[in-house]
Amino acid sequence: MQPTVPMTGFTRGFDMNLKPVPRLDSKEVSPESQGENDPGLRCFWYSPMMIVSDGKMKKNNDWGIHIESDCLSELSAFVAGQMEQDGVVNAEYLALDLCFLFGFDHEYFHHCTDSALTAHLQRIFEVEGKIPDASKMYRKEYSKLIDKEKKNWILVQETLANAHIVRDPTRLGGLREAFLRYGLLPQPDDWKRGPYALWDRAAFDSSVFTALSHFVWLQYLTGKVDPCDIWPKVEKICHEGGNDAGFDAIVNQIVDAVEPEDIDSEDSSYILNRDGVNVPISFGGFQQGLLRRLEVPLHVHGSQSAMILERYGIDNPEWPYGIIEGLYSHFRIVELSGESDDPFGDDDDFELTP
Domain boundaries, the chain: 44-336
* Close Cβ partners of 194 (under 8 Å, ≥ 6 residues apart): 37, 38, 146, 149, 150, 152, 153, 155, 158
Total residues found in the chain within this entry: 354
pLDDT reported for residue 264: 66
Comparing CA positions, the residue from 42, 48, 85, 96 lying closest to residue 67 is: 42
Q: Are strands 56-59 and 50-53 parallel, antiparallel or unpaired?
A: antiparallel
Three-state DSSP string of the chain = CCCCCCCCCCCCCCCCCCCCCCCCCCCCCCCCCCCCCCCCCCCEEEECCEEEECCEEEECCCCEEEEEHHHHHHHHHHHHHHHHHCCCCCHHHHHHHHHHHHHHHHHHHHHHHHHHHHHHHHHHHHHHCCCCHHHHHHHHHHHHHCCCCCHHHHCCHHHHHHHHHHCCCCHHHHCHHHHHHCCCCCCCCCHHHHHHHCHHHHHHCHHHHHHHHHHHHHHHHHCCCCCCCCHHHHHHHHHHHCHHHHHHHHHHHHHHHHCCCCCCCCCCCEEECCCCCEEECHHHCCCCCCCCHHHCCEEEECCCHHHHHHHHCCCCCCCCHHHHHHHHHHHCCCCCCHHHCCCCCCCCCCCCCC
Contact criterion met (CB below 8 Å) for 181 and 95: no
Contact criterion met (CB below 8 Å) for 307 and 96: no
Comparing CA positions, the residue from 134, 123, 201, 117 lying closest to residue 162 is: 201
pLDDT reported for residue 34: 60
* Close Cβ partners of 170 (under 8 Å, ≥ 6 residues apart): 336, 340, 341, 342, 343, 348, 350, 351, 352
pLDDT reported for residue 282: 64
Task: Give the pLDDT means over successive 10-residue stretches in the chain (354 positions).
Answer: 32 49 38 74 95 88 95 95 91 95 95 94 90 86 91 96 88 84 94 96 92 92 94 96 96 88 67 79 78 93 94 91 87 49 41 36
CA angle 142, 131, 195 (to 5 degrees): 20
pTM of the model: 0.85
Terminal CA-to-CA distance of the chain, rounded, Å? 39
